[in-house]
Amino acid sequence: MDCNIENKSVSSDLTICVEELQKIESIILKVGKMDHSVPYLTRYSIIKTCGAIEHGFKTIISDYALDAQSEQLKHFVEKKFRNSSMNPSYTNICNGLNSFDEKWCKTFKTKVNSLPEKGKILDSLDSLNNARNSFAHGGIPSTSFDDVRDYFYDSLKILKLLEESIIEK
């Protein structure tokens, strides 16, 4: 699957994530969905995919915002934004964009609002975050591997719109 993300670092990370999901899916098909290893593979998939989306949104914003900036500003953004712990929720993405440029945020929201399947895509992003938070805080997510994969692919659309919103002149 081609993510259509121009940022090379993000595109590479997302491609690796897609390849891992494909490998996990083939393992699940071989062992069967009821095998005792499937919940562990699913939980790994939750962490991997949500982490890839988080890294993607922060990297896209940071890389573009810091082009041709001073070393001090780059250092500040690295510490306070790029390397911070932040769920890749719609609200956090909008807040991150708005912290750099209100126009980016407005453009992004307009693009998201124009999606024919806006509700489904935002629900997928939210569900992926909720599954990760559940697992990270000691819970047992009830999300299936198929759901995680679908949530991830929907969330890629958010990253694409994010990138388009920033590089649009």
Q: Can you list the pairs that 140-146 forms with residues at least 24 positions away whose Cβ atoms lie under 8 Å?
A: 140/39, 141/42, 141/43, 141/46, 143/42, 143/46, 144/42, 145/24, 145/25, 145/28, 145/33, 145/38, 145/41, 145/42, 145/45
Q: Can you give the pLDDT at residue 129?
A: 96
Domains of the chain: residue spans and CATH: 8-167 (1.20.120)
Which has the closest alpha carbon to 158: 109, 101, 96, 87? 109
Q: Whole-structure pTM over 0.85, yes or no?
A: yes
Q: Can you give the pLDDT at residue 84?
A: 87
Residue at token pair 């290893």: 37
Structure confidence by residue, pLDDT tens digits, 17-44? 999 999 999 999 999 999 999 999 999 9
Residue at token pair 């599954």: 131
Distance of CA 95 to the CA centre of its chain: 15
Q: Can you give the pLDDT at residue 2?
A: 60
Q: Can you give the pLDDT at residue 167?
A: 86
* pLDDT exceeds 70 at position 1: no
Region 55-59: mean pLDDT is: 94
Q: Can you give the pLDDT at residue 70?
A: 83
Region 83-88: mean pLDDT is: 89
